[in-house]
């Protein structure tokens, strides 16, 4: 029994080109008339696009879309993406892809939609390619399982570097299969840069080197030196911006990688646990069902794991069974591997299964690792799991159908089982999506420090602008935190009313002479909210609810007028206004107040840092997107057990600017943006700049 149309293809080659073209058109027409295609695409689209406005919008998502948007506005190229978890700058592939939706709209939801559409295209490509090589039933089962896979859906619903892998991994794998079945030449011209692109999106992409090597071994006649040269040239061109960046920083990222290779070696089963988790029919962080249903879904995951193992064994057995038909033995031992390859090539289906099996089995190389493995590292293996299961189940059904008696009953039972497996995944993934959209999850357990969705942040800023228009206020001040500072920084740049964003380690307010402001406070900024409501005339205007946790709050704040001693002028352009002890339910400690004398304009790719350091109490770091002259800066130190007679304070002011570089000579008009920031003082520091000693309040 065969899964493919290889014989039909070879027969068509013997005919004239016109009948061959006609047959191809007829085949495509029959595929497009297959009802299951539209149902699969409809389900995949619903699960990946429903409620997409609630897409995650934390630091990474805001950073990469900000870079894409800025590159479009400036007309620049890009040399790096954001920083990876291991501390190196990622290559810029992600940014170039996100420049497509950024060129259409500045709304970040476009980036999430773009990511989801690529994932949907991956599902559709899975169906067409599986049908081309393994038949309609295998294509339907594989694409349906992939379309309803909970973790694949989850990672398809927000912007992230590795979330773009779904589409390009599928393209590369089916390029391998095309080579195996039809011995296409020239494929390395595409495969080499495509593998490099996968590595740009995430380091786990290098694992696709395993099926590439297997393809080369099983189709050696398709390998040409010129293809390797051209493919390597395209790879070099793809990495040229990143290489230029590495030259400019003396290959700093390379040294970080080499240092990382010296970390402690770990041998464990962590990769296997994550692999099983990825096969789950639901995402545990979202699903809120009774214990009985949760237990049922977990058993389905265990069963799916067993099915994957059986499918892998079937793929290996089917791929290697051609070796049993080998009768001749080479005279010299070193020719034996060549004889094996020749025997394997007699079965294109078996070779294809070996390529798919190698794709999944390379996972075992991660039993030894030097960094902590994460669940999103498993994206690189999708949709391989579902391809193997689809092929295995289709083979069983076809095999049983050729027999009479009880095998026919078993065939119908297996068909019903396949349908039920798809439906169980559909139910679990649908619940996961609905929970994600409605906020039915613990946001602090799901993301650190907590989860932010784009629509909630946009709604909060839109409501702040509405309140500002109602009260005829010219500026909005946003009290952001580590989780949403990057997001609000980007959204503030698109606001119609000037919006200043500061982190929650300080409070930034205008001078009292400018009148009241609209102050937007983050959900868990309890200390800053307590300080402002305690020390100013603050009126709560509205609450902007978030589906997953505490709301944003909007205040109408009249900044306080400084009364008391004459402000103390510091040599760095700041004034010390005074200090006071605070004792409220939410805030207990020492508050220091400062006046900033100079304007610091809001500029793309730039923000400002103010570090207030106490030898006795530690340091408070304030990050702001812009400053108006005479703005007040409050820093807060939690109460210490010991009391001091006096405090030594030092204030340092820095400007962080995104680094760009241009090519030399006649190419100086070509500029590359990076995610690297250069930090420098506002002015040269003297020995006692910004330092003072005050009595304990």
Tell me how far CA of residue 189 lies from CA of 3, 158, 172, 192, in angstroms. 28, 31, 12, 6
d(CA 607, CA 77): 22
pLDDT of 602 = 86
pLDDT tens figures, 319-345: 888 776 655 555 555 556 677 777 787
- Check if the beta carbon of residue 437 is closer than 8 Å to that of residue 547: yes
User: Is residue 290 scored above 80 in pLDDT?
Assistant: no
CA distance 278 to 116: 18
Burial (CB count <10 Å: 0-12, 13-18, 19+), residue 511: middle
312: tokens are 């892998």
Nearest to 51 by CA among 456, 402, 360, 414: 456
In this prediction, residue 312 carries a pLDDT of: 95
- The yes-or-no verdict on residue 688 having pLDDT over 70 is no
* Omega of the bond leading into 383 within 30 degrees of 0 (cis): yes
In this prediction, residue 293 carries a pLDDT of 64
Phi, psi of 280 (to 5 degrees): -65, 140
pLDDT at 131: 93
DSSP assignment of 130-167: HHHHH-HHHHHHHHHHHHT-HHHHHHTSS--GGGGHHH
pLDDT band at 218 (very low <50, low <70, confident <90, very high): very high
Lowest mean pLDDT among 65-79, 247-261, 378-392, 510-524: 247-261
| 651 vs 574: CA distance, rounded Å | 9
Binned at pLDDT 50, 70 and 90, residue 262 comes out as: low
| SS3 at position 86 | coil
Identify the three-state secondary structure at position 651. Answer: strand
DSSP per residue, 479-543: E--TTTHHHHHHHHHT-SS-EEEE-TTEEEE--GGG--EEEEE-TT-HHHHHHHHHHSEEEEEEE
Asked whether the predicted pLDDT for residue 107 surpasses 70, the reply is yes
**Residues 451-501: tens digit of each pLDDT:** 999 999 999 999 999 999 999 998 999 999 999 999 999 999 999 999 999
Task: Note the pLDDT of residue 34.
Answer: 87
Statement: residue 502 has pLDDT above 70 = yes
Looking at 361-515, which runs of residues are DSSP E strands?
Answer: 368-369, 476-479, 499-502, 506-509
Nearest to 105, CA basis, from 63, 72, 79? 72
- Which pLDDT value is given to residue 214? 95
Q: What confidence category does residue 25 fall into, taking pLDDT thresholds of 50, 70 and 90?
A: low
For the chain, count helices (H), then strands (E): 23, 18
Task: Give the largest Cα separation in the chain, rounded.
Answer: 101
Indicate whether 413 pLDDT > 70. yes
Coil, strand or helix at 282:
coil
Predicted pLDDT of residue 10 = 36
Has residue 301 got a pLDDT over 80?
Answer: yes
DSSP run (H or E) holding 583: strand 574-583
User: Is the pLDDT assigned to residue 608 strictly greater than 50?
Assistant: yes
Evaluate if residue 7 carries a pLDDT over 80: no
Which residues are within 8 A (CB) of 513 and not within 5 positions of it... i.e. 6 or more apart?
Answer: 630
Reported as a single tens digit per residue, the pLDDT across 644-658 is 677 888 888 889 999
| Strands 606-614 and 631-638, bridge-based pairing | unpaired
Among 92-96, 292-296, 529-533, the minimum mean pLDDT is found in 292-296
Q: Phi/psi at 381 (nearest 5 deg)?
A: -95, -5
Which pLDDT does position 328 carry in this prediction? 58
**Domain ranges for the chain:** 34-438, 454-695
Over 60: is that where the pLDDT of 8 sits? no
- pLDDT(348) > 50: yes
The answer to whether the CB of 538 falls within 8 A of the CB of 477 is: no
CA 272 to CA 367: how far, in whole Å?
A: 8
Return the minimum-mean-pLDDT range out of 10-24, 428-442, 486-500, 577-591. Answer: 10-24
Model confidence at 23: pLDDT above 60: no
pLDDT band at 520 (very low <50, low <70, confident <90, very high): very high
pLDDT: is 197 or 249 the higher one?
Answer: 197
Category of 51 on φ-ψ map: left (φ > 0), alpha (ψ -120 to 50) or beta: left
Min mean pLDDT across 78-87, 132-141, 680-689 is at: 680-689
> What b/e readout covers 314-327, taking b as 16+ CB neighbours within 10 angstroms?
bbbebbbebeeeee
With bands split at pLDDT 50, 70 and 90, how would you rate the model's confidence at 9?
Answer: very low
Q: Which residue has the higher pLDDT, 114 or 619?
A: 114
pLDDT score of 402: 87
Calculate what percentage of the chain has a pLDDT beyond 70.
90
Task: Give me the pLDDT at residue 13, please.
Answer: 35
pTM exceeding 0.85: yes
**Mean pLDDT value of segment 558-587:** 82
pLDDT digits (tens, 9 = 90+) for 279-289: 888 776 655 55
Is 582 a residue whose pLDDT tops 70? yes
Q: What is the CA radius of gyration of the chain?
A: 30
**17, 359 contact by CB (below 8 A):** no
Cα 360–Cα 312–Cα 265 angle in degrees, nearest 5: 40
Partnered with residue 499 across adjacent β-strands are 476
Mean pLDDT of the chain: 87
Query: Residue 696 pLDDT > 90, yes or no?
Result: no
Alpha carbon distance 164, 161 (integer Å): 6
């Amino acid at each position: 029994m065969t899964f493919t149309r290889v014989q039909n293809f070879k027969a068509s080659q013997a005919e004239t080109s016109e009948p061959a073209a006609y047959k191809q058109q007829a085949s495509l027409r029959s595929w497009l008339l297959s009802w299951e295609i539209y149902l699969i695409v409809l389900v995949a689209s619903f699960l990946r696009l429903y409620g997409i406005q609630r897409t995650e919008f934390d630091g990474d998502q805001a950073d990469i879309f900000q870079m894409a948007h800025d590159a479009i506005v400036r007309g620049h190229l890009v040399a790096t993406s954001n920083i990876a978890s291991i501390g190196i700058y990622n290559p810029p592939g992600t940014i170039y892809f996100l420049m497509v939706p950024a060129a259409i709209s500045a709304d970040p939801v476009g980036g999430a939609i773009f990511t989801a559409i690529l994932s949907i295209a991956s599902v559709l490509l899975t169906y067409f390619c599986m049908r081309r090589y393994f038949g309609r039933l295998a294509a339907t089962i594989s694409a349906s399982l992939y379309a309803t896979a909970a973790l694949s859906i989850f990672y398809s619903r927000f912007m992230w570097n590795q979330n773009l892998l779904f589409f390009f991994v599928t393209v590369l794998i089916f390029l391998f299969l095309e080579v195996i079945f039809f011995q296409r030449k020239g494929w390395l011209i595409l495969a080499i840069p495509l593998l490099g692109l996968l590595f740009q999106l995430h380091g786990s992409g290098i694992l696709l080197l395993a099926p590439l090597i297997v393809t080369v071994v099983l189709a050696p006649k398709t390998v040409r030196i010129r293809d390797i040269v051209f493919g390597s040239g395209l790879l070099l061109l793809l990495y040229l911006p990143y290489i230029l960046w590495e030259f400019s920083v003396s290959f700093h990222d390379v040294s970080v990688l080499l240092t990382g290779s010296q970390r402690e070696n770990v041998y464990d089963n962590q990769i296997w646990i994550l692999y099983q988790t990825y096969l789950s029919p639901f995402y545990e962080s979202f699903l809120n069902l009774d214990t009985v249903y949760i237990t049922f879904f977990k058993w389905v995951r265990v069963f799916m794991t067993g099915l994957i193992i059986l499918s892998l064994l079937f793929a290996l057995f089917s791929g290697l069974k051609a070796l049993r038909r080998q009768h001749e033995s080479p005279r010299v031992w070193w020719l034996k591997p060549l004889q094996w390859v020749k025997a394997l090539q007699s079965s294109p289906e078996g070779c294809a299964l070996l390529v798919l099996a190698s794709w999944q089995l390379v996972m075992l190389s991660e039993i030894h690792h030097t960094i902590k493995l994460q669940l999103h590292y498993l994206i690189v293996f999708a949709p391989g799991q579902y391809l193997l299961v689809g092929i295995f189940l289709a083979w069983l059904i076809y095999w049983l159908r050729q027999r009479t008696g009880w095998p026919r009953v078993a065939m119908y039972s297996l068909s019903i089982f396949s349908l039920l497996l798809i439906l169980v995944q559909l139910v679990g993934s649908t619940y996961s999506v609905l929970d994600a959209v409605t906020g039915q999850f613990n946001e602090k357990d799901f993301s650190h420090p907590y989860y932010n969705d784009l629509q909630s942040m946009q709604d909060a800023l839109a409501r702040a602008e509405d309140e500002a228009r109602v009260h005829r206020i010219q500026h909005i001040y946003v009290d952001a935190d580590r989780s949403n500072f990057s997001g609000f920084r980007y959204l503030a740049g698109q606001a119609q009313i000037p919006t200043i964003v500061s982190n929650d380690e300080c409070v930034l307010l205008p001078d009292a002479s400018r009148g009241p402001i609209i102050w937007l406070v983050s959900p868990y900024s309890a200390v800053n909210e307590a300080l402002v409501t305690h020390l100013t005339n603050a009126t709560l205007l509205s609450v902007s609810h978030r589906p997953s946790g505490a709301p944003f709050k909007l205040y109408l704040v009249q900044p306080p007028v400084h009364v008391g001693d004459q402000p103390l002028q510091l040599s760095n352009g700041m004034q010390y206004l005074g200090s006071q002890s605070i004792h409220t339910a939410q805030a207990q400690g020492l508050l220091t107040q400062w006046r900033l004398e100079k304007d610091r304009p809001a500029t793309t790719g730039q923000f400002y840092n103010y570090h207030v350091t106490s030898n006795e109490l530690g340091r408070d770091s304030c990050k702001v997107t812009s400053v108006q002259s005479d703005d007040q800066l409050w820093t807060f130190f939690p109460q210490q057990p010991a009391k001091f007679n006096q405090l030594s304070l030092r204030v340092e002011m820095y400007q962080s600017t995104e680094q760009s570089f241009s090519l030399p000579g006649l190419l100086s008009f070509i500029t590359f943006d990076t995610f690297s920031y250069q930090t420098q003082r506002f002015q040269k520091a003297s020995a006692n700049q910004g330092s003072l000693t005050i009595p304990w309040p």
